[in-house]
Amino acid sequence: MKPLRVRAIARKEFIQILRDPRSLGMAIAMPMLLLVLFGYALTLDVDRVPVVVWDQSESPASRELISRFAGSRYFSVKGYVQNYREVEQAIDSGATLMALVVPREFAQRVESARPAAVQLLVDGSDSNTATIAIGYAEGVVQTFSGDIGLRATQRLGVHPLSPPVEMRPRMWFNDDMESRNYIIPGLIPVIMMVIAALLTSLTIAREWERGTMEQLISTPIKGPELIFGKLVPYFAIGMFDVLLAVLMGEFVFHVPLRGSVLLLFVMAAIFLVGALSLGMVISIVAKNQLLANQLAMVLTFVPAFILSGLVYAISAMPLPIRLVTYLVPARYFIALLKGIYLKGVGLNVLASEAILLVIFAAAMVALANLKFRKKLV
């Protein structure tokens, strides 16, 4: 492999990119746009759950319970209703996610130290959000019940007993439990995978469609020189995108970066080589820009977004799907970025993920060179 030939192909590809502002816009503007859109729109935090209340008791005790919901950051009391028909209409229209129904005898049962039940009606069409909201509601009610019991024992002059077991949770790595802190690092591999594969998936196919591949084949240039020469410009653009993504994570989304910046960029470079080479393989096999574009989306975005552990926990997936996730390189890069960003750990902990990324990159480079042939057929 001669560096002079690689440089010539790289220069040709750079000129081609600069002459096509759409490709340059896709390479730089689209990753930033996707990061902003996903960063603000994709959140797993369940806050300000809309609630309507039917207070049949209309007593100080019921108003205190309702105020606990209104004062919680997890709930937003949207209004009061007077019957089940209004409750049904509010849930059916999507105006509220849940309804709190306080029975008429609530205050009397609380004052007489008897069990008092309240009803919680929840829209279960979004099961994940509904489950989390029910957990929040149970926490509010348990706190209210504890305070009622404490006041009752104090009125009787009895010293309240301490619970035999007390749990004191402490959050590590993400003290505020902000989903953005782990979504933003996880989005970087997904966006890089999609954009890198999309860009390089068009390079060889474009040469075939424009008829310029015949001219390249007639030159003394070798296959590896052509492939590496075409990868160089997109690698440079991809690393620039990584820099922009890291800066946006730091200054726009305020995601803490506790680990090594050098390790982050080294791992990003390895992952980027693999993603670009995967796009090159698609381009070589397809020989058609439209088909290559479609294959790139199917082989990159879907696995990277769904099977990488970014949104859906891999441990909760069925066994066959869990086995498939081991073939998704974004899974390992996401684990690396989360470790570097949030935990501040290095290769002593993340060595296995780093090795698998190296294997992925080497395999894709080798496959691209294996598939490319300097032949017209």
Looking at the predicted structure, is the pLDDT value of residue 195 above 70? yes
**pLDDT tens column, 290-319:** 787 788 888 888 888 889 888 788 888 899
Q: What is the dihedral of CA 177, 179, 180, 186, to 10 degrees?
A: 120
Q: What is the pLDDT of residue 53?
A: 95
Please tell me the CATH code under which domain 49-155 is placed: 3.40.1710.10
The rounded distance, in Å, linking the Cα atoms of 201 and 295 is 9
**pLDDT tens column, 320-375:** 999 999 999 999 999 999 999 989 999 999 999 999 999 999 999 999 888 877 65
Pick the most confident of 1-10, 14-23, 360-369: 360-369
| Three-class SS state of 288 | coil
Q: What is the pLDDT of residue 168?
A: 77
The rounded distance, in Å, linking the Cα atoms of 81 and 47 is 22
**pLDDT tens column, 267-292:** 999 999 999 899 888 888 887 777 87
The rounded distance, in Å, linking the Cα atoms of 116 and 103 is 9
Strand 98-102 relative to strand 75-80: parallel, antiparallel, unpaired? unpaired
- Long-range CB contact pairs, 292-299, < 8 A, 24+: 292/201, 292/202, 292/205, 293/198, 293/201, 293/202, 295/201, 296/194, 296/197, 296/198, 296/201, 297/194, 297/198, 299/197
**pLDDT tens column, 367-376:** 988 887 765 5
Looking at the predicted structure, is the pLDDT value of residue 227 above 70? yes
| CATH code 3.40.1710.10 region(s) in the chain | 49-155
Q: Which residues pair with 275 in a beta bridge?
A: none
Q: Judge contact between 61 and 106, C-beta under 8 A.
A: yes
Take residue 347 and report the two structure tokens written for it.
């290769």
Question: The whole model's pTM is what?
Answer: 0.79
- Of the pLDDT bands very low, low, confident and very high (cuts 50, 70, 90), residue 187 is confident
Q: What percent of the chain has pLDDT over 90?
A: 35
Strand 119-122 relative to strand 75-80: parallel, antiparallel, unpaired? unpaired
